[in-house]
Structure 1
Amino acid sequence: MGSIVLQTPTGEDACCLRLFCPSLKDVQVLAVEDLGDHVLIAARTVVPETSCPECGLPSARVHSRYRRTVWDLAACGRPVKVELEVRRFFCSAFTCERGDLR
């Protein structure tokens, strides 16, 4: 039995999760799927830039992407798995320890 897509959001108002968790404004929910034994929520971050944790300067240059997986408490009797694609950014500051222009 294949998965059933419960929600495939489109547009800015497609996901009501922002009503309950305003901090999710920088997260785009791609799909919510019923996989039988659990519910899968696929999402990705969409923030255009972030600050370097070392020097604090903003950067919009994406270094790489990776996926984080979180299992949460059951919803409607089934566990919830969240797969979140996040991005790593380059720091462009020459003097920064994390900088890529040294």
Structure 2
Amino acid sequence: MLQYDDDENDVLYLREDLREERLLSEIDRMLARLKPESLAAEERSFPFGELYVTVRRFESAIIMHFPMGKQRGIVVSLEPDAARNLNRFTSECIQQIDN
């Protein structure tokens, strides 16, 4: 789990099995992709109200981004097993798309 704002990133929690050096070297690249979601323009792109969270499913992680406005937010990474229902649902969608 990490919290960011305009000026800095703060790792709040890191699983013991993750190598902190490797993750820290990747944070800036990941945040460059996530930070724009915390801008008002992102919410204006969709007519559904306030943006609460974005979720990305990867082979080895689920990434949840909670934008808090003005280049601030929290990023949570979960093991895929922590989101079994999401994995099952998205896998079924992918199967339907592939058929």
TM-score band, normalised by shorter chain: under 0.3
Specify the structure having the higher radius of gyration (Cα).
1
Higher helix share: 2
Normalising by the residue count of structure 2, what TM-score does the alignment of the two structures yield?
Answer: 0.25
Higher strand share: 1
Identify which of structures 1 and 2 has the higher relative contact order when contacts are C-alpha pairs closer than 8 Å and 6+ apart: 2
